Amino acid sequence: MNILVIGGGGREHALCWKLRQSAKVDRLFCAPGNAGIAQVAECVSLDPGNAAVVEFAQTNDIGLVVIGPEQPLVDGLADALRAAGIRAFGPSAAAARLEGSKGFTKSLCARANIPTAAFARFDSADAAREYVAAHDLPVVIKADGLAAGKGVVIATTAAEAGAALDTMAGPVVIEAFLTGPEASLFVLCDGTDLLSLGSAQDYKRVGDGDTGPNTGGMGAVAPAPALTAVLESRALTEIVAPTVAAMAAMGTPFTGVLFAGLMLTPTGPQLIEYNVRFGDPECEVLMLRLESDPLDLLVATCDGTLAAARPVWRDDTAVTVVMAAENYPGLPVTGTVIAGIDAAEATGAVVFHAGTARRDDGAVIATGGRVLAVTAIGADVGEARAAAYAGVDKIDWPGGFCRRDIGGE
């Protein structure tokens, strides 16, 4: 089968890397891809919009399009592909509202009795201000829309809440503040049946010890140490299964991978948010643990045959360390040269590219904020962490930095 992967980050490199190992994959394309993806797939640049993807898929006899990021899903790319008779991994625009609209998800949780923080949604900041004045702090203030992880403010004082509301245009959701360790759970859904891909723990803050601003993710560990088998099973029955049932009952069944961000509170798992795609860098650690053919799982998800899927996972723990360009998550310094990637891979680590390009002279340069995800497995988190940092330490990139505490205590 010929495959097209949409996206150009570390997540898409991990998907392409794993798909390349499948004997069933013939030609593998990625749009737009990056310098690392180009080593395992044919990178193509497509015009923006759904029509160009549909046309490319038809012209190149693509049997499956795997949509990596959320924006094309929210924009209806999966719908456009399916309407043209092309198999697409990822939800419809209607089902992608689980990520695209926090208000939609919160209402669904309320109707289906899914544990999540108490909330209220406001069309304007002024109405939200009165609500904040009448409630206990801290409160959590979120923009209602795709915000790339940067639209959340935890306000511990009235002044902080006011300042946050001043900067937010459009509708906002205000939530009660939950406490506990966080974990992310990844579940394939074919509209009816579910298949857990296991969990991961993300490191969202830019600095060691969880300091500094939020990022798209500076590293990950899989499985998430805090999500025991009992808690995972509770999250599946109390949160994910009723969500999938509610989506089907509404006539907008969810197909693809549902990424549940969970807070493990003293009373049990509660939903913080849904994403309707693989996480980045969580996908990198999940793919290293997967032993089975990835194509079988993706196709079963699209074709409604997940009930029969029996994926095999390594027992090992996987750790990924993100290397980011100087000044990330502010405007990153790009164009700097990265050396040592081969030396890093010689240690046994896998270096996924998240934001790179190859210069005419062959040098790999940084093109974005998050640039590499150096990933390794080990018998336990300590071994995996040591193996990942052994790779990191071979990367010769003065323009980059990483956290040193991924997978630490």
Per CB under 6 A, does 204 bind ligand AMP?
yes
Per CB under 6 A, does 238 bind ligand AMP?
no
String marking each residue 123-152 x if it binds ligand GLY according to CB under 6 A: --------------------------x---
For residue 370, the partner it binds in ligand AMP, ligand GLY, none, with Cβ less than 5 to 8 A by kind, is none
Among 42, 75, 160, 182, binds ligand AMP (CB under 6 A): 182
For residue 217, the partner it binds in ligand GLY, ligand AMP, none, with Cβ less than 5 to 8 A by kind, is ligand GLY
Among 9, 115, 171, 216, binds ligand GLY (CB under 6 A): 216
Q: CA 272 to CA 152: how far, in whole Å?
A: 11
CB nearer ligand GLY, residue 283 or residue 357: 283
Q: Are β-strands 62-67 and 2-7 bridged in parallel, bridged antiparallel, or unpaired? A: parallel
CB nearer ligand GLY, residue 116 or residue 320: 320
Q: Write out the binding residues for ligand AMP, residues 265-294 only, by CB under 6 A.
A: 272-273
Q: CA 406 to CA 221: how far, in whole Å?
A: 8
> In what helix (H) or strand (E) does residue 323 lie, and over which residues does it extend?
strand 317-325
What's 146's DSSP letter? -
Q: Which amino acid is at 319?
A: V
In angstroms, what is the minimal distance from the CB of 228 to ligand AMP? 19
Listed ranges 11-19, 146-154, 164-172, 396-404: which one lies at the site for ligand AMP (CB under 6 A): 146-154
For residue 140, the partner it binds in ligand AMP, ligand GLY, none, with Cβ less than 5 to 8 A by kind, is ligand AMP
CA atoms 279, 204, 327, 167: torsion sign = positive
Listed ranges 148-156, 216-224, 363-371, 377-385: which one lies at the site for ligand AMP (CB under 6 A): 148-156
- Which has the closest alpha carbon to 269: 313, 306, 226? 226
CA atoms 212, 214, 219, 223: torsion sign = positive
Q: CA 324 to CA 75: how far, in whole Å?
A: 28
Q: CA 191 to CA 213: how far, in whole Å?
A: 36
Which residue has tokens 């210069």? 359
CB nearer ligand GLY, residue 90 or residue 216: 216
Per CB under 6 A, does 191 bind ligand GLY?
no
CB nearer ligand GLY, residue 70 or residue 316: 70
Per CB under 6 A, does 104 bind ligand AMP?
no
CA atoms 12, 343, 386, 326: torsion sign = negative
String marking each residue 257-296 x if it binds ligand GLY according to CB under 6 A: ------------------x---xx-x--------------
Check: CB of residue 20 under 8 Å from CB of residue 5: no
Structure token digits, residue 145: 């829309």
User: Any idea of the CA torsion for 21, 26, 31, 33, to the nearest 10 degrees?
Assistant: 30
Per CB under 6 A, does 354 bind ligand AMP?
no
String marking each residue 240-259 x if it binds ligand GLY according to CB under 6 A: --------------------
Per CB under 6 A, does 8 bind ligand GLY?
no
CB nearer ligand GLY, residue 149 or residue 180: 149
For residue 86, how many C-alpha atoms fall within 13 Å in the half-sphere facing its CB? 29
CB nearer ligand AMP, residue 135 or residue 204: 204
Q: CA 55 to CA 44: how far, in whole Å?
A: 13
Which residue has tokens 């080990």? 378
Altogether, the residues listed in the chain come to a count of 409
Binding site for ligand AMP (CB under 6 A): 117, 140, 142, 149, 152, 154, 175, 177-178, 182, 204, 261, 272-273
